[in-house]
Amino acid sequence: MSKKLTERSKDYSKWYNELVVQADLAENSAVRGCMVIKPYGYAIWEKMQAKLDSMFKATGHQNAYFPLFVPKSLFEAEEKNAEGFAKECAVVTHYRLKTDPDDASKLIVDPEAKLEEELVVRPTSEAIIWNTYKGWIQSYRDLPILVNQWANVVRWEMRTRLFLRTAEFLWQEGHTAHATKKEALRETELMNDIYAEFAEEFMAIPVIKGKKTEQEKFAGAEETYCIEALMQDGKALQAGTSHFLGQNFAKAFDVKYTSKEGKQELVWATSWGVSTRLMGALVMTHSDDKGLVLPPKLAPNQVVIVPIYKNEDQLKAISEVANKLAKDLRASGISVKYDDRDTHKPGWKFAQYELQGVPVRLAIGPKDLEKGSVELARRDTLTKEFIDQSEVINKVRALMVEIQDTLFQKALSFRDQHISEVDTFDDFKKVLKEKGGFISAHWDGTSETEQKIKELTKATIRCIPFDGKPQVGNCVLTGKASKQRVLFAKAY
Amino acid sequence: MSKKLTERSKDYSKWYNELVVQADLAENSAVRGCMVIKPYGYAIWEKMQAKLDSMFKATGHQNAYFPLFVPKSLFEAEEKNAEGFAKECAVVTHYRLKTDPDDASKLIVDPEAKLEEELVVRPTSEAIIWNTYKGWIQSYRDLPILVNQWANVVRWEMRTRLFLRTAEFLWQEGHTAHATKKEALRETELMNDIYAEFAEEFMAIPVIKGKKTEQEKFAGAEETYCIEALMQDGKALQAGTSHFLGQNFAKAFDVKYTSKEGKQELVWATSWGVSTRLMGALVMTHSDDKGLVLPPKLAPNQVVIVPIYKNEDQLKAISEVANKLAKDLRASGISVKYDDRDTHKPGWKFAQYELQGVPVRLAIGPKDLEKGSVELARRDTLTKEFIDQSEVINKVRALMVEIQDTLFQKALSFRDQHISEVDTFDDFKKVLKEKGGFISAHWDGTSETEQKIKELTKATIRCIPFDGKPQVGNCVLTGKASKQRVLFAKAY
């Protein structure tokens, strides 16, 4: 059983690390930087996957699977990509271990089993996929290709944190090929919109849609669109990205198609992805000092029922009521766990499900049997009430909607209170230090200024928001002319 | 579009390789031994996954995710496992590439980024998982642990074939921990039974349940149960395995629990898995010289509708009927593709869907509009008939059941005709050469004899069947006493 969590106000970072482990979401493994996603955490991820997957399919995408390994030469083919982040990666150089001749209990790498060409464990799959698409695309009839992959990827990060930054993580990566620039741009926007819809409607996390600056965009992309969320400590978190890749990969891998008019044309590309990082965003947006708070749409168990009893007869009578309620709730499409284990006390169970963020807890004791009542506790508000057993189904159904909405509104209100318009660099620094959140400020549009601000404050431009209105102003650092405010923040 | 397939009777192996590629299931990649699973192939795999996953969950299992990498030392901890097959594997030795100082267009492995301890890309996850379970298990209250993982694994195979044997493949691996031997044995059997049920009821592949001999079992296991299928060329294919691991991994990783009585006890283990190899079994069991034949329960599109038209008006009128049929079929839970693309001719579409094994094809032309008919073609029997449009829904619904059953019965009949009881080694060799299939023969129970027979004939003992009756006899090679027949075959 868990010990008390560090309070958010005392040490937000420590609170997060403790919560992820204590709520049974994930833990560190024997491999530096790689995590174990535990069954409870994985069940939440599966719910995310299922919803995202259905959204991808509803918009015409299909899944496929490409190799884990990318030959080193394919990275060289895509120069910008390699320049971007391919270098910190896991490199396979050999294909065999053998028993150590000096110590039969040890294994050593067999020097005779050296690969002719090293293989890189994919940090992302543009290179291997576009090398494949070359064989799939000849004619305009072969386009568009709308493919997604659910996979593990590896980036050799030096400082890692569960879900937020791990050497290996799980994600989906969409890779599409189009005949025209217009179509590819539309796809880039569509997928960013799908991410935003998923974040807001399922994760109950409000996000700001926008595009990245030259400095912050994916190295291989012409444009990177993104959704940005705000965590409770005032730091931003990039929750998803959708890249318009132009013809960069088509050029690098020589992917052309014959148009209706019989001309050879380079193919246009997009790629887009979200990862297990979303789990970190989910935890940090809604949870409190008592533990996880889950939106009903992503909770593995939306309702838990705990019996309170002193003897077998009481348990039997309570179980009859509980099983009936569970059955009726399930018939309403609500997931229910009835925890009648005799190995743990009710108090332990209450604490456990609070820690694990189960949206609604029902408790039934001997007095409830007499009165025909149950105790209903909401995880989000921590409120409790006794209700009639006959009201449970309707009440819980309504709560599933209400809790989902309450969490979103609460996060939205927090987020909106933490967007500060500032016009001087002193205010910029002051707000960043004292309040945090997004800072809406004018910027002169140069990477130099962006870099300078980053060095001075650790804040980066999270995005140039799509809904930002043109507004003439002066750059918060240089005073040079600016046409639109952008959003700065410190970020995960 | 595809060229004609090599006939099975001419070159079964070539037929298989061509079919997998031409039907858009998978193809070889730029990485030796690694395949690309194409969208159509992956859609079949997803259906398998979804069904298996629901069967696992219905029996109390949960999914989780463990690291891709296994530190070399963990393999050393489990000696037998390492001895078994851990040696032919992908070894990560470095974590960074850098630009070649002699050629800026090249990347080289950064010699300064050498790992202190090499990491092995998981060939299977017993070691990393049991090293994790050590932290999860203290008391009998923590047991059983019923966890499954969907993952990619890598084994450095020298000779690879799409789906059947690839360096990287996708699979699920269940890893369970139990308080008692009895419970672990029950789990081993349960999961083998689930695999058998899945193979027979969903893949329409009859299988024989049995256990492996000492020589053929998984190196880390005390017992390996398996399901064995028979391909059309008379070779057997191991379609799934379920291992009773005894206390081997608990000993290797020191995993103990405190019993109710307060004693420290070693934990009992099982592991079980099926892989994308099942895709190979599916292709080889049912398909014919015209292409893939899919059982309805696993077909991404159970029905395809092709319009036959000469002008836009005809297409419009046909589409009205087709869309209505598609809608009604979908309402009956049947997946339908209406292929009204104007980029491909009906003849091309007919050939394509035949090659891709769509169970039922409906064609609608101008004459059908007049008569209120459609042409219905069955992929499994290659029969065609005209039926009234009003009959389509009921007919197709019935066919989904009938085709599934027909495929199973056909495969069962073939399999049963290819189990030959033999009592002399001459007959053994003759049957193996002329007829193939399973050979039911007496065996003296020694690994020496098993090995000798393998060397002489390439046939191995596929399993000691569970439904085999005790029968006194003499070993087909040595003439020594034997208590039961076992099944030999050449195998994939």
Provide, as residue numbers in chain A, all residues whose Cβ is less than 8 Å from the Cβ of B110: 87
Higher pLDDT: B429 or B106? It is: B429
Q: Domain for residue A71, yes or no?
A: yes
Average pLDDT for residues B139-153, to the nearest whole number? 97
Helix (H, G, I), strand (E, B) or coil at A41: helix
> Quick one: pLDDT band at residue B469, thresholds 50, 70, 90?
confident
Buried b / exposed e along A164-189 (16+ C-beta atoms within 10 A): bbbbbbbbbbbbbbbbeeebbbebbb
Summarised one tens digit per residue, pLDDT across range A408-422 is 999 999 999 999 999
Tokens of A61: 């995408």
Mean pLDDT of B19-24: 98
Confidence tier at A2 by pLDDT (50, 70, 90): low
pLDDT > 90 in chain A, percent: 93
| Domain end residue (candidates: A286, A317, A352) | A286
Tell whether B354 and B452 lie within a shared domain: no
- Say if the Cβ atoms of A132 and B36 lie within 8 Å: yes
CB contact under 8 A, A67 and B132: no
Secondary structure (3-state) at A383? coil
d(CA A274, CA A408): 20
pLDDT at B34: 97
Q: Which residue of A has its CA nearest to B25?
A: A64
Q: How many CB atoms lie within 10 A of CB B263?
A: 10
For residues B152 and B21, membership in a common domain is answered with yes
Q: What percent of chain B has pLDDT over 90?
A: 93
Among chain A residues, CA nearest to B43: A63
Residue A335 located in a structural domain: yes
Is the Cβ pair B109, A93 closer than 8 Å?
A: yes
Q: Are strands B69-71 and B485-489 parallel, antiparallel or unpaired?
A: unpaired
Is there a domain that residue A110 lies in? no
**Distances from the Cα of A27 to the Cαs of A147, A161, B64, B152, in angstroms?**
32, 10, 12, 20
Cβ-based neighbours of B55, under 8 Å, separated by 6 or more: B194, B197, B198
Q: Is B230 helix (H, G, I), strand (E, B) or coil?
A: strand
Show Cβ contacts of residue B255 under 8 Å, excluding neighbours closer than 6 positions: B130, B133, B134, B137, B177, B249, B266, B267
**Mean pLDDT, residues A431-458:** 97
What is the residue-averaged pLDDT of chain A?
A: 96
Mean pLDDT of chain B: 96
Q: Which pair of structure tokens corresponds to residue B5?
A: 């397939």
Whether this model's ipTM surpasses 0.90 comes out as: yes
Q: Residues B373, B446: one domain?
A: no
Confidence of residue A83 (pLDDT cuts 50, 70, 90): low
Task: Show which of residues 430-489 on chain B sit within 8 Å of chain A, judged by CB atoms.
Answer: none
What are the tens digits of pLDDT across the range A203-220?
999 999 999 999 999 988
Q: Which strand (E) or helix (H) includes residue A473? A: strand A473-474
Tally of domains within chain B: 3
Q: How far is A86 from chain B (nearest CA, A)?
A: 8
Of the pLDDT bands very low, low, confident and very high (cuts 50, 70, 90), residue B86 is low
* Helix %, strand %, coil % of chain A (to 5): 35, 30, 35
Residue of A nearest to B114 (CA): A91
Q: What are the pLDDT digits (tens) for B207-266?
A: 999 999 999 999 889 999 999 999 999 999 999 999 999 999 999 999 999 999 999 999
One-letter amino acid for residue A147 of the chain: V
The verdict on B389 and B429 lying in the same domain is no
Place of tokens 């349940």: B209
The runs of H, that is alpha helices, within A101-180 are 126-136
- Residue in A62, A67, A93 nearest the CB of B36: A67
Q: Same domain for A363 and A433?
A: no
Residue B255 · residue B130 · CB < 8 Å: yes
pLDDT at B63: 98
B360 domain residue, yes or no = yes
Contact A322, A340 (CB under 8 A): yes
B60: pLDDT strictly greater than 80: yes
Q: Does some domain include residue B56?
A: yes
Query: In CATH, what number is assigned to the domain containing residue B389?
Result: 3.40.50.800
Distance, in Å, from the CA atom of A152 to the CA atom of A171, rounded to the nearest integer, reads 6
CB atoms near residue A394 (< 10 Å): 11
| B305 and B271 co-located in one domain | no
Helical (H) or strand (E) element with A351? helix A346-355
CATH number of the domain where residue B148 is located? 3.30.930.10
Residue of B nearest to A116 (CA): B32
One domain, residues A326 and A464:
no
**pLDDT of B80 higher than 80:** no
Residues in chain A: 492
The predicted structure's pLDDT at residue B83: 60
A128 and A162 share one domain: yes
Chain B from 114 to 153: CB within 8 A of any A CB? 118-121, 128, 131-132, 135, 141, 147, 151-152
Task: Give the pLDDT confidence of B341-383 residue by residue, as tens digits.
Answer: 999 999 999 999 999 999 999 999 999 999 999 999 999 999 9
Q: Indicate the DSSP class of residue A231.
A: -
- pLDDT 10s digits, B170-223: 999 999 999 999 999 999 999 999 999 999 999 999 999 999 999 999 988 999
Whole-number pLDDT of residue A104? 84
Residue-level pLDDT at B2: 52
| Per-residue pLDDT tens digits for B330-339 | 999 999 999 9
Same domain, B265 and B348: no
**Which residues 6+ apart lie within 8 Å of A54 measured at CB?**
none
Q: Are A201 and A255 in contact (CB under 8 A)?
A: no
What is the model's pLDDT at position B121?
Answer: 97
> What pLDDT score was predicted for residue A76?
85
Q: What is the pLDDT of residues A267-284, one digit of tens each?
A: 999 999 999 999 999 999
- How far apart are the C-alpha atoms of A422 and B356, rounded to whole Å? 61
In-domain check, residue A308: yes
Domain boundary among B263, B286, B309: B286
Final residue of a structural domain among A340, A366, A399: A399
Strand partners, B145: B177
In the stretch 226-285 of chain B, residues with CB closer than 8 A to chain A read: none
pLDDT reported for residue B158: 84
Separation CA A143–CA A146 (nearest Å)? 9
**Helix and strand tally (H, E) in chain B?**
14, 27
Cβ distance A377 to A351 under 8 Å? no
If one compares A291 and B86, the residue with the highest pLDDT of the two is A291
How far from chain centre, in Å, is Cα B302? 20
Domain hosting B392: range is 301-399
Q: What pLDDT is attached to residue B428?
A: 98
How far, in whole angstroms, is CA B410 from its chain's centroid?
Answer: 19
Q: What is the DSSP letter of B86?
A: I
Give mean pLDDT, residues B314-322: 97
Does residue A376 share a domain with residue A339? yes
- Look at residue A196 and tell me whether its pLDDT is greater than 80: yes
- For B440, B445, B451, the CA distances from B483, given in Å and listed in that order, are 13, 9, 19
pTM listed for this prediction:
0.97
Between CA A7 and CA A4 the distance in angstroms is 9
**What are the DSSP E strand ranges found in B401-443?**
419-421, 438-442
Q: Which CATH number do you get for residue A457?
A: 3.30.110.30
pLDDT at A136: 98
Which of A46, A89, A109 has the CB atom closest to B91's CB atom? A109
Is B66 within 8 Å of chain A by CB?
yes
Alpha helices (H) in A210-311, listed in sequence order: 248-252, 277-286
Q: Are A93 and A118 in contact (CB under 8 A)?
A: yes
- B65 and A91 within 8 Å at the Cβ level: the answer is no
pLDDT band at A85 (very low <50, low <70, confident <90, very high): low
Contact B87 A107 (CB under 8 A): yes
Same domain, yes or no, for B429 and B483?
yes
Please write the tens of the pLDDT for every residue from A152-185: 999 998 899 999 999 999 999 999 999 999 999 9
∠ Cα B210 B276 B213 (to 5°): 25
3-state SS, residue A345: coil
Q: Which residue in A has a C-alpha nearest to residue B87's C-alpha?
A: A97
- As a whole number, mean pLDDT of residues A27-45 equals 97
Answer for the pair A365, A319: CB distance below 8 angstroms, yes or no: no
Confidence class of residue A265 from pLDDT cuts 50, 70 and 90? Answer: very high
Residues forming beta bridges with residue B383, ordered by sequence position:
none
- Name residues 161-190 of chain A within 8 A of B (Cβ): 168, 170
Asked whether residue B65 is assigned to any structural domain, the reply reads yes
The answer to the question of residue A376 being in a domain is: yes
DSSP-assigned beta bridge partners for residue A139: A258
pLDDT-wise least confident of A215-219, A222-226, B65-69, B130-134: A215-219
pLDDT (0 to 100) of residue B260: 95
The strand pairing partners of A338, in sequence order, are: A305
Do B191 and B216 fall within a single domain? yes
